[in-house]
Amino acid sequence: MTFRQAHGRPERSRGVTIDEELQAALDVDPSPEFLARVRTRIANEPAPSRWTFRSGSPWMWLASGAAVAAVAIVAVLVSRPNSHRSVSGAGALTARVISPTAQMPREVLLDPARGGSKDPPYTRTAVAEPFRAADDGAEIVVDRREAIALRALLAGSLLPAEEALVVTPATPMEIEPIAIAPLEIGGEGVRQ
């Protein structure tokens, strides 16, 4: 059953049907060299692959299985608990004991005029616990000066606010009395 048979009477326009016009327009043949060009092009193409995944090559399946097994082994190794994990290369660093103490500001003065304590200014010394290393003996190595500065900062910030204030006693100011000389008015006509 051709197209025209399937559609019965073809519509006619200007004496020929649309299909006849289209068939005439498409009745074009390629040039005689066309097949030769295609063959040349195909000859230049790289040889198509001999196997595909769908072809079920045993080597393909073997490689796939090996890859899956490798991935599984890596996943198991990664997911194991790291109880025996050690820090490699820790011996390369020389452990230093951090200074156990850090001094806070030596004296804190209180102003007796403001009702503060009349006790002599006291000195508060912050004593820092020496850094204890972890159970496994590993130590964290921190520069000594950094440790001292950090501890001093922490000790200062933990003091009560009033104690942290340093108030200097005020000295009474002496004000001289103001002396104003009396006005002297001269006689009339005298130019001042």
Residues that bind other proteins (CB under 8 A): 1-3, 6-7, 11, 13-14, 18-19, 21-23, 25-26, 28-31, 33-50, 52, 54
Q: Are 60 and 53 in contact (CB under 8 A)?
A: yes
Nearer to other proteins, 29 or 136 (CB): 29
CB-wise, 37 or 124, nearer to other proteins? Answer: 37
**Contact between 126 and 104 (Cβ < 8 Å):** yes
As measured in angstroms, the least distance from the Cβ of 65 to other proteins is: 23
CA–CA distance, 75 with 81 (Å, rounded to integer): 12
Q: How far is the CB of 59 from other proteins (least distance, A)?
A: 17
Q: Is 126 exposed, middle or buried (0-12, 13-18, 19+ CB in 10 A)?
A: middle
Which is nearer to other proteins, 15 or 169 (by Cβ)?
A: 15
| 78 φ/ψ angles, rounded to the nearest 5 degrees | -70, -35
Q: Which is nearer to other proteins, 2 or 192 (CB)?
A: 2
- Residue pair 128/151 in contact (Cβ under 8 Å)? The answer is yes
Smallest distance, other proteins to C-beta of residue 23, A: 5
Token pair, residue 16, equals 């020929």
Min separation Cβ 4 and other proteins, Å: 9
